[in-house]
Structure 1
Amino acid sequence: MQLGQSKPQSPASSPVAPGIHKEHHAQVRKCFPAFFSGEVLPSFGEYKDKPLSHRVEGFATQVFGFGVWDTLSEVCDARSMSPMKCLKVLFKIIIVLSIIVGIANWAFQSSNDSGPSALARNLAVLHPSYKGPVFLHLLSSQNTGSEYIGKIMDLYQDSFYIHDPLELVYTTVFGITANSDRILPNNVFFDAAGEFRNMSRAEHGLDLWTMDKMFHCRMTELPTAMLTNPYWSTYASKQMVNTVQYVTCLGKHGVRMDQGHESFRECHKHIQDPICPKAFSTKPKGDRCASVLFRNETFTTQDSDDLWQWPDGNHPMLKYRRNFQRYFQCIAKLEEPARKCAGWHLDGVCKNKQFRVIKTSRVTMDVAEKMLQNFPNYRVIHLFRDPRGVAFSRLQSASPFAFAPFESPDAGSLAKSYCKILYTDKITRIRLQHIYFDRVIGIFFDKFTRDVATNMEWLLMHVNLKMSKSKVSLDYAEKAKEMMVLEKDRWRNGLDAKGIKQVQRECSKLMRGMQLCMAGRRCVEYSMED
C-alpha cells in the first residue's frame, strides 16, 4: 500500500488567498510568521548578487507575494524614477504595511481566541453551503481538555468521531507494543535531546495519509495491523460510540479484542522487545523495526528477499527474519475478517455521516495546513490551554512512558516542551486564519470553560451537529461540562508555589502573548479580553 494513493488535488482548486499569485504562495507562507511573531523581515541580502531591479522585485515578492512590483514598476517607469529611488519607495510601503498588519493581527488575535461572541463570529461561517461531508479536525496536545469536547462531539447524531488515530500509525510502523496510550509520549515532536526534530517526509506523509483515509471513509484500505490494533477496543466504548459494532463484529469473526488476549498482541509477540521497542523513541534503536515494517514508504505485509537487502550488505535486522515471517503470517490470517468488518461497521457507518470528526494530540498545525490546501471541506479547531494546567495534568500520570526521555517529572520541564509546541502552532494558526479565515479557529480551553453551556452551544450550533436525545448522551454532556469546569482550575490547588514559578519562567514569552495572569494562585480570572 503506497503512500499518496489518493489523487492530489489540482493546483487550480487549492485554496489561495485572494490576489496572491499561486507561484508566490510558498513565499507568502514563509514570510508571514515573521510579521506575526515580531521577527525581522526577510533578508534583502540573498538578492545582493542580482541586478538592482531584480533585487527589488525579488524582495517585494518574498514579502508580499502578490505583484507589488508589477504596479510599483509601472509607477517608477511613468515618473522616470531611478531604481534606487524606487527601492526607497518600496521600503516606505513595507514599513507602513507592516504596521497595519501588526495592528490588524493584534485586533484579530484578541477577538478570535475564545469567548461566546468570538465563537459566534468565527463559527457562523464554519459550516458552508457546501452539501458534501465536512471534515472537522480537533487539533490539540495531550492534557488540554480535548477528551471532553471530543466525547461530546462523539455523541451527536450526524458525526463519525475518531479519537487520536495516529496511535495506530506509530504502533504499526515502529512495531511498538500496543498496550496503552502512554506508549507514545506527548512529545513525538522532539528528539531525545529535547530539540525540535524534523519529521521525515514518510512520517509526515503517514499522518496525512491516515487522516485522509478516515475522513474519506476508506478505512478498509488501512493495513491489517492497524485494523486489528487494540486501539479499537480501548476507545470504542469510552470515546468512539460509532465503532462499538466494529469491535463486536471482529469478535464474532474470531478476531479477539478482549484485553490481554487480543489477536493482534498474539501476533506481535513474535517481534516484541527486545526486537522492537517498548515505546516510541527518536534514538536509532527506536526505528529499527520501521525499516522492516515500513520499507520504501510502503507497509510490509509479507516476507521477501528484497526486504532484507541493504546498501552496504545485509539488513541489520536480518537475524530476526524468522520472527518477522511469523508476524506477517499471523497478521495475514486476520486480514479477511478485519476488512469485512471495517467495510460494514467503519466505512459503511462513516459514509452516512455528514460530519467526520478526528481529534489528534500528536500533530502540529503544519499538518492542518496541508489538509487546508488539499480539501476545501476541511476545517480545523485548534484547542489550547494554560500551560500550568497542562503541566499539572501531566504530573498526575503514573506511567513511565508519559514523559519524553529529556523531560524530568517537574512542572517546569513538562510545561517547557508544551509551550514550545504551542508557541509554534499559535503562530502558524494565526497565519492560516488570515488565509483560510472561515476554516480555522482557536479555542482557549480555560476561557471556554467560563461558560461551558453557552460556548458548547455556539460551537455545535454553528457546525450544525445535532445531539442524540438518549439519556446516556444527555447525561454525559452534562457530566462533561462539570468535569471541564473542575479541570480548568485543578492546577491552582495542585501545583505548589515553586511549580507555578517554574512554569511561568519557562513559558513567560507565550503566557505574555496570551495575556495570561502571571500572579499564580492570586489570579482571580484570565485577563484575555473577549
Structure 2
Amino acid sequence: MILRKRKTKLYTGLSFFILLFVINRLSLTFHGYSHGPVQVLILTYMRSGSSLTGDILQHSQGSFYVFEPLRSLCPHNCSSIILRNLVYANGSKRTTPISFNKTSYSILHNWFNCSITELPSVGLLDVFLDKGWKTQLFFPCYVGFILKTMNHSYAIEECARQLGDICERSPIRIVKTIRARLNYVKYLLDDFPNLKIIHVVRDPRATLWSQSHFHMCLADGGGRYRCSKNLCGRMEDDIAESHRLSKTYPNRIMTLKYEDLAKQPIEISQKMYDFISVPMTSETKMYVYNKTKAGNKNDCEICSTRANSSAHIDYWKHFIDPDFLDIINTRCDFVLRHFQYDEYTINKSSNATLRFLPAS
C-alpha cells in the first residue's frame, strides 16, 4: 500500500489527550441546541467562492465541516453512473455500475447523520478532508493504526468510528459540495428537519473565466460553449428547483451571491449565521475580517484567504476574451438577468469597455 505524501502528525500520547479535550469541548457545545444538531448544506459550482463561505461557517463554535465529500466519486466531470467498485469503511462493497445521484445522496445523508462507517473508504482518504478542522483527524489516525497493526481495513473502520463519535458531539454539521444538484438532494430536507441549504452563486462570467484560466474549458471537452452551457444549465435548473422548494420548505433555502459576501463580509456572514440560527461571536467577526480584509496574501487558488475579497470580484473583466464573453452573455442571459448582474460587453474594434445599468 502506498500512503499519499501528506503533512501529518501521528497519534502520540499527547495528541490522544488533545483529542479527548476536543471531544469534551464539543460535548459542552451541545447545550443550547435542545432541538438537535443543525445541518447546513452549501451547494454551489466550481470556482464560485464557496470555499470562503464554508470556512466562515466552519468558524462557528462546535462545527463539523466536510469539504467536497463527493470528489472521490468524480474528481472532474460527473456522470450519472460511477464506473468503479466501492469499498465502505464497514467492509461492505458495491460493484459497478453505481448510480451517482443515489450514492451522492447516501454520502451526504451519512455525513449529516454521522454514520461515518457507512461511507466509501476512498472518500475518507481524500486529501480534501484535511480542510475540515475535525475531519483532518482521520488521516493521522489511519496512519497511526496502519503503523501499529498493518491492517488497512481495521484502520479505516476504527478511525471512521472515532470520527463518527466526534461528529455526534458536534451541534453544527456543515457540508460543502460543487457536485450535487438541488433536485437530487431535496429529500434531505425531509430527512433532517433542521437542515438549511445555502445556495452560493457567482457571476457566471467570473466563474467561467476562472474555469477557463485553470484549463477546465479545453476544446477536447467541448470548449468554451460547452463550459457555458453546462454551468448555466445547472444554475437554471437550481434556480427553478429552489423556487419550488421554497414554497414547500419556507425559510430552509438561502441564495447567497458571492459578490455580496466579498463586498460586505461581516454583514453577509451575520445573515448566514442568522439563517442557520447560530450565534456569530465577536471572535468569529474578527476572523472574517482577517480572512477578507486584513491584507493577507492570496496564498492559494482554492483557499479562502484573500488580501481584499472585494478587490478581486471584477478581476475577470481585465482579462476575459471578447469572444468568450459573447458566448457567456448569450448562453447565460437568463442567469445574469435573474441575479441582476450588470451587463458587460467589450467593443472589439476599439477594445473599449461598455457597461450598462442592471437588467430589468
Q: Offset at 1:222?
A: 2.1
The one of 415, 424, 427 equivalent to 2:237 is 424
- Relative to 1, partners in 2 of residues 1:516 and 1:468: Cα closer, same or farther, differing over 3 Å? closer
The one of 117, 130, 136 equivalent to 1:220 is 117
* Kept in 1: contact 2:212–2:218 (CA 8 A): no
Q: Offset at 1:422?
A: 0.3
Is 2:246 aligned against 1:354? no
* Alpha-carbon distance between aligned partners in 2 of 1:336 and 1:520, rounded to the nearest angstrom: 58
- Give the 5 Å matches for 1:67-106: none
- Relative to 1, partners in 2 of residues 1:483 and 1:164: Cα closer, same or farther, differing over 3 Å? farther
Secondary structure, in 3 states, of the residue corresponding to 2:66? Answer: strand
* Alpha-carbon distance between aligned partners in 1 of 2:237 and 2:166, rounded to the nearest angstrom: 36
Secondary structure, in 3 states, of the residue corresponding to 2:318? Answer: helix
* Alpha-carbon distance between aligned partners in 2 of 1:466 and 1:377, rounded to the nearest angstrom: 18
Q: Offset at 1:447?
A: 3.2
1:241-268 Cα offsets, whole Å, 9 max, x none, are: 1122222111212269xxxxxxxxxxxx
Q: Offset at 1:510?
A: 2.6
Q: Offset at 1:377?
A: 1.6
- Relative to 1, partners in 2 of residues 1:519 and 1:217: Cα closer, same or farther, differing over 3 Å? same
Q: Flag the structure with higher strand content.
A: 2
The one of 378, 382, 394 equivalent to 2:199 is 382
Q: Offset at 1:514?
A: 2.9
Partner of 2:152: 334
Partner of 2:185: 368
Is 2:53 aligned against 1:155? no
* Alpha-carbon distance between aligned partners in 2 of 1:129 and 1:243, rounded to the nearest angstrom: 22
* Kept in 2: contact 1:137–1:357 (CA 8 A): yes
The one of 130, 139, 149 equivalent to 1:247 is 139
* Kept in 2: contact 1:161–1:357 (CA 8 A): yes
* Alpha-carbon distance between aligned partners in 2 of 1:215 and 1:526, rounded to the nearest angstrom: 43
Q: Offset at 1:421?
A: 0.6
RMSD between aligned residues: 3.2
Partner of 2:35: 131
* Alpha-carbon distance between aligned partners in 2 of 1:473 and 1:519, rounded to the nearest angstrom: 30
- Relative to 1, partners in 2 of residues 1:214 and 1:509: Cα closer, same or farther, differing over 3 Å? same
Q: Flag the structure with higher helix content.
A: 1
Question: Structure 2 counterpart of 1:134, which letter?
Answer: V
1:120-171 Cα offsets, whole Å, 9 max, x none, are: xxxxxxxx9861001100000111110111122223322100011012334x
Is 2:101 aligned against 1:204? yes
* Kept in 2: contact 1:133–1:353 (CA 8 A): yes
Partner of 1:439: 252
Partner of 1:68: none
- After superposing on structure 2, the runs of 4+ consecutive aligned residues of structure 1 that deviate more than 6 Å are 470-474, 523-526
* Kept in 2: contact 1:148–1:484 (CA 8 A): no
Is 2:70 aligned against 1:166? yes
* Alpha-carbon distance between aligned partners in 1 of 2:80 and 2:257, rounded to the nearest angstrom: 22
Secondary structure, in 3 states, of the residue corresponding to 1:443? Answer: strand
1:435-470 Cα offsets, whole Å, 9 max, x none, are: 111111111222332312211122124431556959
Is 2:253 aligned against 1:454? no
Partner of 2:49: 145
The one of 313, 318, 333 equivalent to 1:488 is 313
Secondary structure, in 3 states, of the residue corresponding to 1:519? Answer: strand
1:470-529 Cα offsets, whole Å, 9 max, x none, are: 998874465536453234212111203222222101212332333332233757698379
- Relative to 1, partners in 2 of residues 1:245 and 1:525: Cα closer, same or farther, differing over 3 Å? farther
Partner of 1:506: 331
- Relative to 1, partners in 2 of residues 1:524 and 1:457: Cα closer, same or farther, differing over 3 Å? farther
* Alpha-carbon distance between aligned partners in 2 of 1:161 and 1:217, rounded to the nearest angstrom: 12
Report the TM-score when normalising by structure 1. 0.50
Question: Structure 1 counterpart of 2:214, which letter?
Answer: S
* Alpha-carbon distance between aligned partners in 1 of 2:211 and 2:67, rounded to the nearest angstrom: 19
Secondary structure, in 3 states, of the residue corresponding to 2:256? Answer: strand
- Relative to 1, partners in 2 of residues 1:413 and 1:342: Cα closer, same or farther, differing over 3 Å? same
* Kept in 1: contact 2:62–2:171 (CA 8 A): yes
Secondary structure, in 3 states, of the residue corresponding to 1:380? Answer: strand
Secondary structure, in 3 states, of the residue corresponding to 2:40? Answer: strand
Question: Structure 2 counterpart of 1:419, which letter?
Answer: C
Question: Structure 2 counterpart of 1:184, which letter?
Answer: H
Which region of structure 1 is more displaced relative to structure 2, 215-224 or 429-438? 215-224
Partner of 1:93: none
Question: Structure 2 counterpart of 1:435, which letter?
Answer: T
* Alpha-carbon distance between aligned partners in 2 of 1:220 and 1:468, rounded to the nearest angstrom: 36
The one of 309, 333, 343 equivalent to 2:161 is 343
Count of residues in correspondence between the two structures:
295
Report the TM-score when normalising by structure 2. 0.72
- Relative to 1, partners in 2 of residues 1:428 and 1:253: Cα closer, same or farther, differing over 3 Å? same
* Alpha-carbon distance between aligned partners in 2 of 1:449 and 1:129, rounded to the nearest angstrom: 30
Partner of 1:527: 358
Question: Structure 2 counterpart of 1:459, which letter?
Answer: M
Secondary structure, in 3 states, of the residue corresponding to 1:161? Answer: strand
* Kept in 2: contact 1:155–1:241 (CA 8 A): no
Determine which structure has greater relative contact order: mean sequence separation of CA pairs < 8 Å that are 6+ residues apart, divided by chain length: 1
Partner of 1:265: none
Question: Structure 2 counterpart of 1:407, which letter?
Answer: G
Question: Structure 2 counterpart of 1:205, which letter?
Answer: K
1:41-74 Cα offsets, whole Å, 9 max, x none, are: xxxxxxxxxxxxxxxxxxxxxxxxxxxxxxxxxx
- Relative to 1, partners in 2 of residues 1:525 and 1:485: Cα closer, same or farther, differing over 3 Å? farther
Q: Which runs of 5+ in 1 are unaligned?
A: 1-127, 171-182, 191-199, 257-329
* Alpha-carbon distance between aligned partners in 2 of 1:457 and 1:167, rounded to the nearest angstrom: 29
Question: Structure 2 counterpart of 1:416, which letter?
Answer: K
* Kept in 2: contact 1:208–1:367 (CA 8 A): yes
- Give the 5 Å matches for 1:221-300: 221-227=118-124, 229=125, 231=126, 233-236=127-130, 239-254=131-146
* Kept in 2: contact 1:145–1:445 (CA 8 A): yes
Secondary structure, in 3 states, of the residue corresponding to 1:437? Answer: coil
- Relative to 1, partners in 2 of residues 1:240 and 1:149: Cα closer, same or farther, differing over 3 Å? same
Secondary structure, in 3 states, of the residue corresponding to 1:149? Answer: helix
Secondary structure, in 3 states, of the residue corresponding to 1:503? Answer: helix
Secondary structure, in 3 states, of the residue corresponding to 1:254? Answer: helix
Structure with greater Cα Rg? 1
* Alpha-carbon distance between aligned partners in 1 of 2:357 and 2:245, rounded to the nearest angstrom: 25
* Alpha-carbon distance between aligned partners in 2 of 1:514 and 1:369, rounded to the nearest angstrom: 22
Question: Structure 1 counterpart of 2:358, which letter?
Answer: S
- Relative to 1, partners in 2 of residues 1:372 and 1:501: Cα closer, same or farther, differing over 3 Å? same
